[in-house]
Every structure is written in structure tokens, then in C-alpha cells.
Amino acid sequence: MFCLGSVANEESIERRSLSFAVKQWNDARTQETTIRFKVVNSGSKAHDIEERVCDILQRKPVAIIVPSTSKYAANYVRRACEQFRIPCVDIDGSNDLSDFGVNVGIPREAAGRALAAFVTKLQWANFVLFYQRSSDLAELGPLLELTSSWPHPGIVLRQLPKNNDLRAFLKHIRNSVHATRMVIHTKDISDTYRFLQHARIMRMTDAKYSYAVTNMDLSLLEEYVLNSTDFTCNITGLRLINNDSFQRKVIDSDAPTIMLSLSSSANC
């Protein structure tokens, strides 16, 4: 059994997603190989990334997953892996790789290219782009560049507030910005869930609203959306597919439509 180290909190979406992926890999290859992986976490309850990494190193991992939720933690993990000559695995498309780093994520601008094609195809004249951190906007460069083309869409940028209650924020968007088309760019699917949850409360999920979500884990919210009669809006997500066997998955019901369609070359 080979250990993959993770500094993510055991209850976090990032940690659960990693455990699910490892389980899927192990289960799919029971007949092919005896190689098995397991995810190991730091046994330390400390919040300091230094102590958590030190604890994981003592568990002799064959590689450490670079966290995607903190740039400081990600850089620290990369430096530690280089110092102790342990492979580190990036999953967010980062170019900040060490000699011992490998990137298994999609290119950082892939979502931006896909959304630019999506917005152009549907001829969105204007929309609001929600983001968490200013640095995240670099990943959506191709989408933002549409403002320099003709006919160009009007893009309103709004940074998501850090507090958990988004109702006042969304009320302003609804009453002052008068937006019905929105792009949600978040790293953590729980933030996307929180956004949609409060949008439902603010009656911003009826048929006149459309949402495009960049987080690749949008499918985790299918049950929540499809089981609610409050969602009659369109929610479009992105998904990696195999170009050799292109498939488009459309979940259709009497209420919302969730489309997951993104090729590995970021063509919509």
C-alpha cells in the first residue's frame, strides 16, 4: 500500500474528493495490478502548515498532493518536497513546479477559453463575474478579453464577500446591477453551494436567470438542485471529456438544466 500525503483538513471537500478519486482508482484496477494507494493526513491538529507537512513526511509518502486552497501552503509543500526529494502533485494547473513536481490539473486558462466560447455562442450581451481572489482572474483571461472584441459583452466584476451570509450581497446584485446572467468562479465547491443556496433564498433561481460555474465538482450539487422546485434556472458547468469519444451530458428535468461539457482542449 503506497501512501499519498495530503495537508487538507480531513472534513474538507478537497480531502474528500481526493479520497474518492483514490478509491475509484483502486477499485477500477483490482484485476490489473496489486498496486494500491491510500491517503494519509497529518495527525496533528495544528493549523500551521509547517507542522502538518512535517507530520506527513514521517509517514513516508510516495508523493504529497499540493493544496489548492492556499497559495502559501502550496508553495511550502513544493519547497518541502524539493528539499526532501519527494514528488509533489499539483491539481490546479499551476506552473509553479519544482524539479520534483508534476501537474495533473487542466491548464489554468482552460476554463476561461471554454467560457469565452460559451458566452460568445449564446451571445450574452452582459453578465456578472463573481470571483474569490483577485489572483483568480488571471485564470479567466480569455473570458475577460472578450471586452476588447466586437460585439463585446459588458462584464461586471464582483468579489465574493468572505462572510457566510450572501443575502445582502445578492440583493444588491438583483436590485442595483439587475443581472440575470452570471459566472461563478470558485475553488471550493462548498462556496458554489453557498452561493446557489442564498440565490434560491433571494428568489434568483427562476427561469429568467442563467449561471455558468467553473468549479469542476459541480456534479456534486446535482441532487441538491434537481430535488428543489425552486430551481427553474439554467446552470451550466464544465467537465473534462475525452476528445476521442466526445460526449455531452445534459441532465434535463421540468426544472433546471445542468450541462457539463468541456473537452480536454477547452472547446465548448
The owner of cell 481526493 is 18
Sign of CA dihedral 162, 165, 168, 170: positive
pLDDT at residue 149 in the model: 64
- Cell of residue 174, nine digits: 438583483
Query: Residue 104 in contact with residue 90, Cβ under 8 Å?
Result: yes
Query: Residue 3 in contact with residue 60, Cβ under 8 Å?
Result: yes
Identify residue 193 by its one-letter amino acid code.
Answer: Y
Q: Which residue has the higher pLDDT, 100 or 267?
A: 100
pLDDT of residue 65 exceeding 80, the answer is: yes
Q: How confident is the model at residue 31 (pLDDT cuts 50, 70, 90)?
A: confident
pLDDT of residue 131 exceeding 90, the answer is: yes
pLDDT at residue 253 in the model: 36
Query: In 134-249, where does DSSP find H-type helix?
Result: 141-144, 167-172, 189-201, 222-226
The phi, psi pair for 95, rounded to 5°, reads -100, 0
**Top-confidence range, 10-19, 168-177, 182-191:** 168-177
pLDDT at residue 220 in the model: 83
pLDDT of residue 97 exceeding 60, the answer is: yes
- Cell of residue 148, nine digits: 476588447
CA distance 237 to 76: 31
pLDDT of residue 140 exceeding 70, the answer is: yes
pLDDT at residue 8 in the model: 85
How far is residue 100 from each of residues 18, 64, 105, 146, measured CA to CA in Å?
20, 10, 16, 37
Average pLDDT of the residues in 243-253: 44
User: Model confidence over 3-24: pLDDT tens digits?
Assistant: 999 988 887 878 888 888 899 8
Q: Which residue has the higher pLDDT, 210 or 106?
A: 210
pTM, 2 dp: 0.70
Write out the E strands in the chain: 2-6, 37-41, 63-65, 88-90, 101-103, 126-131, 154-159, 181-185, 210-213, 234-241, 249-252, 257-263
